[in-house]
Amino acid sequence: MSSNSANSYWKSNLKIVASLLLVWFIASFGAGILFVDALDSIRFAGFKLGFWMAQQGSILVFVVLILVYIRLMDKLDARYAIDNAEETTARSNISQSQKEVNQ
């Protein structure tokens, strides 16, 4: 992999991580703590929404976030033809790109 594509891989990676962490923050600190009282005015079944987000919903969101992350990263790896099983090729690719940088 060239250092250019290594750079753009890293940028896409950062974008994925940042957007998922935004959802992470909103679901937990937002819905479960900062705005919990406001959300409590909405009810479903025997739950107040804020209370449910704090004790159940946020955890479910966390699980979904990691599953989405796994999917997105697999796709990103495929786009950059990164094969996780092949140890040697990846390593030689990196040292290749290192040489290019040095030159």
Partner 1 sequence: MNVQTWTYLFVFLSFSLYIGIAIWSRASSTKEFYVADGGVPPLANGMATAADWMSAASFISMAGLISFLGRDGTFYLMGWTGGYVLLALLLAPYLRKFGKFTVPDFIGDRYYSQSARLIAVFCAIVISFVYVCGQMQGAGIVFSRFLEVRIETGVLIGMAIVFFYAVLGGMKGITYTQVAQYCVLIFAFTVPAVFISLMMTGQPIPQIGFGSELTEAYGGGYLLDRLDGMSEALGFATYTEGQRSTQDVFFITAALMFGTAGLPHVIIRFFTVPNVRDARRSAGYALVFIAILYTTAPAVAAFAKTNLINTVSNAEYTAMPEWFKKWETTKLITFDDKNGDGRIQYVGDPSVNELDVNRDIMVLANPEIAELPDWVIALVVAGALAAALSTAAGLLLVISTSVAHDMMKRSFMPDISDKKELLYARLAIFIAVLVAGYFGMYPPAYVAQVVAFAFGLAAASFFPAIVLGIFWKRMNKEGAIAGMIAGFGFTAAYIIYFRFLNPSIDNAENWLLGISPEGIGTLGTLINTCVAIAVARLTPSPPNEVTEIVERIRLPGE
Tally of CA atoms within 13 A in the half-sphere of 51 that contains its CB:
9
Give the max Cα distance, the chain: 67
Number of residues lying near partner 1 (CB under 8 A): 51
Out of 4, 8, 21, 22, point to the residue binding partner 1 (CB under 8 A): 21
- The Cα 100–Cα 2 span in angstroms is 8
Task: Decide the pairing of beta strands 43-44 and 47-48.
Answer: antiparallel
Binding flag, residue 15, partner 1 (CB under 8 A):
no
DSSP 8-state symbol, 53: I
- The Cα 19–Cα 53 span in angstroms is 20
| Interface map 30-69 toward partner 1 (x if CB under 8 A) | --xxx-xx--x---xxxxx--xx-xxx-xxx-xx-xxx-x
| Least Å from the CB of residue 42 to partner 1 | 13
Q: What residues line the site for partner 1 (CB under 8 A)?
A: 1, 6, 9-10, 13, 17, 20-21, 24, 28-29, 32-34, 36-37, 40, 44-48, 51-52, 54-56, 58-60, 62-63, 65-67, 69-70, 73-74, 77, 82-87, 90-91, 93-94, 98
